[in-house]
Amino acid sequence: MTSDPPLQGERERLVAGLARLATMTQVDVRILDAGYEAARGWLGRRARFQVTLASEPSGREVWRDVEVDFSSGSDAICPYFPFTSFVYVGERLAAAAEYIRPEERRTVHLCLKTGSSVEITVATEVAGSVLGDNRELAVLLGQVRAGRIVRPQTVPAAALPLAQDPSSQFLFPLDTAIARPVFVIGAYRSGTSILTWALGQHPNILPVEETRWLQLFGEGARAGFSLATQAARNFFEIYDIAEAEYMAHFGLAVDGLMRTAGIRLNHRTSLARLSGKLAQKDGIFDANFQLARSAFNPKRRWIDGTPENAACVPVLRRLFPAARFLFAIRDPFDVIASMTQFDRAGGDPLTPEEAALMWLRLTNYGLLAYRAYGPDVVRVVRFDDLIGHRAGTLRDIFDFLGEPRFERAGDTFDTRLNSSRLASGERARIVEDLRVNLAGRQVVEQLYRQVLELPFAPWEPDEAAVHELQSGSWDTVARIVGQVSSKRT
């Protein structure tokens, strides 16, 4: 434990803050180690405490979200920004909190079982490449509160053992034998881009540019296997290679390409700019749109927000069996209104009828994907929930992805991305006109209701939905090939 007077003062503030928690009836907190270990590699800054959550009056065990407030130290104690604190519940990496300025407060939500006592550990990683003067970092703990009841199945299953070598440079596992990308699907103008960027702020998820080529690549690989296996004696039969294994190998290659591209871009743009020390090319640094938090801790997953991927979920599942899909859904009349004014955001405007057909096509593919693969693979994300219940919705998404919660991802929604920039009054007038006069509005409303009901209805595998999706995937690939051919001629 250090004897540095400024850090000792921070330690006393920490002890006093935790002592106040003991007076609460629902939560009991006990200090295990209020000091901060000397820097060892990158993971040497840790503090530990214990939380006991009182039993329910009914005697039943339930899961609750417990809020824990943290704040960064003063500039004299913590001169390196941004930095990230990773919070472990037992040996499970459960949440992360990033600080971009001194004395900044962050709240993390940990999912704990009532009637249980768990050890909480905070490990802090600095985004700078070196700690030249070997100074300590302080993360102060504040009030702990028991919050909402959480369904047990939403507790993240992913675990990162805290017992790993403390000199390791990586807070996330290095094992990349399984590709676990995330795809945001749904109609254009449904929040796919902003959701991709928000989740891409997570320390372990890299936001990539819309691919627009994965569908063609996947179907081409699948067609090659089908063609080869038509021969009486063929390569795949001789070597006993099934289609699933063949496609997964291609998926791993793509996964490696994505992560390599992310590391390359991170290095090229430099850590200094990413951490806000240098301006971005437009002269403004936006901390809510970072690609990475440090050069020495590259991300292990990537997220692609290409809306057209909604039509190609079957082939993406073959390439990436462990992939997860977020189906973004927004009021269709709001979406159609944005599409008709998309020239304000640099795109091509559509007529209301064209916009409605596009919304119907991509939304129906999302519906079919849910019916085909179920809630463990496809998650319905309502745009209204992202805007009105941001924190809870993002926590549920990170639980679904099996990633530690990262509350700060929600800050990204404070910036409008690719917006058609309709004034509220103008948007309301256009939407109201569409609700009354749009041709086929009853079909649009019916599909929207069906999607909203999906999470509340029992699910069983739907083979017909898989076949219909596959037909849509072929149609999408044919359209892409046609576009490429027309450009060449």
pLDDT tens digits for 242-299?
Answer: 999 999 999 999 999 998 888 777 766 655 454 444 444 444 556 777 777 665 567 8
Cα dihedral across residues 417, 396, 308, 244: positive or negative: positive
Q: Does the bond joining 82 to the residue before it have cis omega, within 30 degrees of 0?
A: yes
The span from the CA of 409 to the CA of 288, in Å, is 7
Q: Which amino acid type is present at position 412?
A: T
| DSSP, residue by residue, 201-223 | TSTTEEEE---S-HHHHHHHHHH
Cross-strand bridge partners of residue 93: 88
Of 485 and 278, the structure prediction assigns the larger pLDDT to 485
- Chain centroid to Cα 79, Å, comes to 29
Q: Is the pLDDT of residue 3 over 70?
A: no
Q: Which amino acid type is present at position 450?
A: Q
Q: Is the pLDDT of residue 10 over 60?
A: no
> pLDDT tens across 90-148, in order?
888 899 888 877 778 888 888 888 888 888 887 776 654 434 444 444 455 566 677 77
Cross-strand bridge partners of residue 139: 72
pLDDT band at 30 (very low <50, low <70, confident <90, very high): low
Prediction pTM value: 0.84
Q: Is the pLDDT of residue 162 over 60?
A: no
Domain boundaries, the chain: 5-154, 182-488
Are 457 and 380 spatial neighbours (Cβ–Cβ below 8 Å)? no
**Which CATH number describes the domain made up of 5-154?**
2.60.120
The span from the CA of 402 to the CA of 160, in Å, is 11
Average pLDDT over residues 353-379: 96
**Assigned fold of 182-488:** Rossmann fold (3.40.50)
- The number of beta carbons lying within 10 Å of the beta carbon of residue 231 is 10
pLDDT at 74: 62
Q: Which of 68-77, 159-168, 191-200, 370-379 has the lowest mean pLDDT?
A: 159-168
The span from the CA of 393 to the CA of 223, in Å, is 39
pLDDT at 418: 62
pLDDT at 21: 42
> pLDDT tens across 288-346, in order?
777 776 655 678 899 999 998 998 999 999 999 999 999 999 999 999 998 888 766 55
Q: How many helices (H) and strands (E) does the chain have?
A: 14, 14
Half-sphere exposure of 476 (CA within 13 A, CB side): 29
